Chain A
Amino acid sequence: MTKIGLEIHCQLTKLESKLFCSCKADYRKFEPNTNICPICMGIPGSLPLLNKSAIEKATLIAMALDCSTPNRIAFFRKNYFYPDLPKNFQITQLNAYGNTSIGWEGKISVGNSKIKIRRIQLEEDPGRLIYEGATEKTKLTLVDYNRAGTPLVEIVTEPDFETPHQVREFLNILSDLLENLNVSDPGLEGAMRADANVSIEGGSKVEIKNIGSFHDLEKAVHFEITRQQSLAERKIEIIQETRHWDDGRKITVSARTKEEEAEYRYHLEADIPWVRIDDNTKNQLQVHMPESISSKKERYVSKYGITSQVADILSSDRYFSELFEKANNETNAKDIANMITTDIMGLLDTREKREMSKLEGDHISDLVGYIKSNKITRASAKLALDEVIKNGKQLSEIIEDLDLGHVSDESTLSDIITEVIDEEVKAVEDAKQNPEIVNFLVGKVMQKTHGKADPELTLVLLKKNLGIK
């Protein structure tokens, strides 16, 4: 049987500061080596100062993944040399003297199966190495410490996955969950990374590291299963080792065997006293935990009668579900849900667009109201949305500015209809035989009015004009 396990690293990007100093947790906007201080640079004599909010955020994750949580948390040093590691040890966690990591023994549903979570721990991210220069001889390795000390949560699963597809499904669910908890923005570059371990019946466990994206992870796992199976078929032993994903060639290559594995000399980080988490704190966290995606979905379906498919899309996205909650006033929930999933999601399909957007919940509920009361067509509504997103003005103002109000004045419409009938001689003839063609003519009227014509009135007037019943 194929067994796949994952190690996921997720940055707590929603925190203000790094895990042990006051530098920014979101390092992405800085010039290299400007988001640093004596603490995250490991300058002699500096001491780590624990960011307590990181413990809370990480504990939320443990609770959401149904983990046991400790009464006291301890940090350990993992010692190894690497140029991106300022102190040449990483402050992390280890369940050595009882369970003192953020969480353990959790589970999460993926489709019809349960994936067990072995352990969750809080640790600091190292800096980043940037390789520059094309050839071996001119190659430079640059170090940027802006990321060093960023709060990172490591989630280790049991080897409960059987297929690469299941892995991908899990990662999507986990990523939505982390976003929904408001602890991380998994869409940010490098915010969520994963390593995998793969073994097939009778073979040793092989770890795969260095995987850039979830998409690649699925491919890497798939490749690794195939590789191991073909070895097994030829009766070649599968050795325990670490392999790297070669992004260019789309294969895994051997990195090091287990015997040469680094010696980490774990010991307690004495500079950070053990942190107690009492039941009261845990209860408070539980009470303030954001509603889960599944409960949200269920509520959308049962309370508002939103279709399961729409509810699914809406609930699994934190940004749009928040927008929905703000916009809906119970009576129009279904229309709002539809507008968000059919129109708005397309208009705000990137992070940048969402960040720039001035669209508020009120805008959407107003807009749905206008459509319902026939003050604006659906086509005009789309134009209005575009405007609101750009400038955030009141809807009434925008409709006036853009002249988006319905053309429902009979004489104006009649003039336009006459124009269309004159221009579309053949269609008019056909329409008399085939009433379906009338819709084509309605479309032409819409074109001339830039979508503002009242579609029902247009139809009535057209039929009347053509003498169709």
Chain B
Amino acid sequence: MDLGISALNYVNGIKNNEFTVEEFTLKSLERISQVDEKLHAFLRVNDLAIKNAREIDTKIKSNQNVGKCYGMPISIKDNICIEGSKTTCASKVLENFIAPYTSTVISKLNSEDAIIIGKTNLDEFAMGLSTEFSAYGPSRNPWNTDYVPGGSSGGSGVSVSANECIASLGSDTGGSIRNPASFCSVVGLKPTYGLVSRYGLVSYANSIEQIGPMAKTVKDSAFLLNIISGIDSNDNTTVDNKNQDYLTDIDAGINGKKIGIVTEMTNPDGLSTDVLDATNDAIKTFEKLGANCEQVSLEMVRYAVAAYYTITSTEAGSNLARYDNIRYGYEFDSSGFEFNSYISQARSKFGPEVIRRMILGGFVPSAGHAGKYFSKALKVKSKLIAEIKHVFEKFDYLISPTVPIQPFKFGEKINDPVSFMMVDFNTVTANLTGIPAISVPYKITNGLPIGIQIMANHEEEHSLLQAAYALEKTVDLPEVPV
């Protein structure tokens, strides 16, 4: 039994009686207990996984209807709620928070008989890109444990990459799925804003974030997107995708398609030459596949990171204001506090990055400063949307390296917030404009992964996945060394 198989091969394996759900689940749990002490992908493992596995085996044996997932183990980023279990957002503030309801994506996975194998690590409240800001310690990159796995969905990326599970759900506010996908060499998809319900996703910057799949293959991403996407009465921002099947014609190829190479994203400050080489190589590959590649400039991309941090801090300041410890949270004796000092005390458990963004979020939209910061950021956002709209009149796809650099070592950037922010340079545009974007593993250089990002127009996931699949087919990467 190969724990490294794709979701689609897992389903075939079950259907062909090569293994049972229980056998596979046990193996996965074994794998987790072997490697996770070192990798720390998981914050918690599901105690009921084996029980769930047996139930699904029983269903299979007695020829009952079984959901599409056939008991495959899937890990979930710990900012997505499951009724009755902890959702900590890797924060001490929510150390004891037990969700009273289940998010839409989890309900959908459950009804397709997936097994939620555990909750994965992240930067606190999804703010960060290395998991170094998790209140429970960082996750480690399975390709080289001295290096960060990326973030904020770092735990999810590691869990898939290290074969601790078949696939994972992460969330992406400015690259939080694609960045760890690139760093861990897995496929990470940030869907169109509104394609996947956010009901049950703990908000960080609710105007731009999305839940999305992290998987071993592009087809697996399409398979998961089929399950989790669609309109939801619990999220007013969702769009009706008419139950589109993203696996249909996924192998249609990209012959004759027009690809824009985003100039600003292929020469940002600090771009690594190895990443640039890999990107140029990918461009050649796309052309060999019959696509026409051409440079295209998106001027506003230069201001996107600044706009991104201004907008997300504003929304974070608002979304995280509810953590006042009045209705839920952690125990502390509140006697003797007046309200303001009580709030300060209640908020003292937030980590440094969350505090940084909340301070920023209190400043940039404030009455005296909004004109200089927040309003400008909104202007950049709307100009960027206009630019994107314009280029997609000509191009089918936009491409870039997912991240301008390869994984870095722990502690290397943590004391330099601005250079940290620049790591998001290529990913934030898709969030600010709401378009779908995917990171496809392309190369291992110096023992560390490099991913290529492909973006498409709103709700063009079907076409996006075709391009990603075409690229993926040309790639042959080594096994993860863990």
Contact = CB atoms under 8 A, between A and B. Distances in A.
Interface of A: 38, 41-50, 77, 79, 81, 83, 86-89, 143, 263-268, 270-273
B202 A271 contact: no
A451 B326 CA distance: 65
B365 interface: yes
A216 to B, nearest CB: 27
Given A79-B318, A265-B317, A271-B236, A45 B324 contact: no
Contacts of B200: 45
B97 A44 contact: yes
Nearest to A87: B322
7 contacts: A43-B328, A44-B202, A45-B199, A47-B198, A47-B199, A263-B366, A270-B237
Contact of A44 (B81, B343, B374): B81
Contacts of A263: 362, 366-367
Contact of A47 (B89, B94, B207, B234): B234
Contact of B236 (A44, A49, A79): A49
B206 A88 contact: no
B446 interface: no
Which bracket fits the contact residues of B? 35 or more
Given A81-B339, A265-B366, A45 B202 contact: yes
A38 B100 contact: yes
A52 to B, nearest CB: 10
B99 A81 contact: no
A197 to B, nearest CB: 20
A222 to B, nearest CB: 33
B315 A270 contact: yes
A273 B236 contact: yes
A267 B374 CA distance: 9
A270 B321 contact: no
Chain B at the A interface: SS class: loop
A410 to B, nearest CB: 76
A202 B367 CA distance: 27
A79 B321 contact: yes
A270 B207 contact: yes
B95 to A, nearest CB: 13
A88 B87 contact: no
Nearest first, the 3 A-B pairs at minimum CB distance are A270-B207, A88-B321, A44-B202
A263 B365 CA distance: 10
B314 A265 contact: yes
Contacts of B339: 81, 83
Nearest to B205: A270
Given A45-B99, A273-B236, 19 more contacts: A41-B327, A42-B322, A44-B99, A45-B81, A45-B199, A45-B201, A45-B202, A47-B198, A47-B199, A49-B233, A49-B234, A81-B321, A81-B340, A263-B366, A265-B317, A267-B315, A271-B236, A272-B236, A273-B237
Most chain A beta carbons < 10 A, residue from B97, B322, B374: B322
Nearest to A89: B318
B28 interface: no
Contacts of A272: 236
Contact of A87 (B99, B207, B234, B321): B321
Interface string B182-207: 00000000000000001111110011
A88 B236 contact: no
B235 interface: yes
Contacts of A86: 322, 327
B269 to A, nearest CB: 30
A143 B314 CA distance: 28
Interface in B192-242: 198-203, 206-208, 233-237
B307 to A, nearest CB: 14
Nearest to B365: A265
Chain A at the B interface: SS class: loop
B81 to A, nearest CB: 4
B99 A48 contact: no
A267 B97 contact: no
Given A79-B317, A143-B326, A268 B237 contact: no
A264 B374 CA distance: 14
Interface in B306-325: 314-315, 317-318, 321-322, 324
B87 A45 contact: yes
B101 interface: yes
B365 A266 contact: yes
A81 B235 contact: no
B236 A47 contact: yes
Nearest to B328: A43
A46 B236 CA distance: 11
A25 B376 CA distance: 39
Contact of B237 (A46, A81, A264, A271): A271
Contact of B206 (A42, A83, A270): A270
B103 interface: yes
B267 to A, nearest CB: 32
Contacts of B235: 47, 271
Interface string B131-165: 00000000000000000000000000000000000
Given A265-B317, A267-B374, A88 B99 contact: no
A265 B362 contact: yes
A267 B366 contact: no
Contacts of A273: 236-237
B34 to A, nearest CB: 32
A83 B314 contact: no
A263 B363 CA distance: 10
B326 A83 contact: yes
A268 B202 CA distance: 18
A271 B80 CA distance: 17
A155 B198 CA distance: 33
Nearest to B194: A273
B406 to A, nearest CB: 34
Contacts of B326: 83, 143
B314 A267 contact: yes
Contacts of B201: 45
A43 B99 contact: yes
Interface string B335-349: 000011001000000
A49 B208 CA distance: 18
A371 B405 CA distance: 95
Contacts of A266: 365
Most chain B beta carbons < 10 A, residue from A45, A46, A267, A268: A45
Contacts of A87: 321-322
Contacts of A81: 321, 324, 339-340, 343
A431 B239 CA distance: 90
Nearest to B363: A265
Contact of A267 (B87, B103, B318): B318
A77 B361 CA distance: 14
Contacts of A50: 236
A314 to B, nearest CB: 43
Contacts of B370: 265
A432 to B, nearest CB: 85
Nearest to A78: B318
Nearest to A80: B321
Interface string B236-256: 110000000000000000000
A266 B378 CA distance: 13
Given A45-B81, A45-B87, A81-B339, A88 B315 contact: no
A143 B327 CA distance: 10
A47 to B, nearest CB: 5
Contacts of A83: 324, 326, 339
B94 A44 contact: yes
Given A47-B198, A266-B365, A270-B206, A88 B324 contact: yes
Interface in B364-418: 365-367, 370, 374
A17 to B, nearest CB: 14
A273 to B, nearest CB: 6
Contacts of B80: 45
Nearest to A33: B327
Nearest to B232: A47
A263 B87 CA distance: 31
B230 to A, nearest CB: 16
Contacts of B99: 43-45
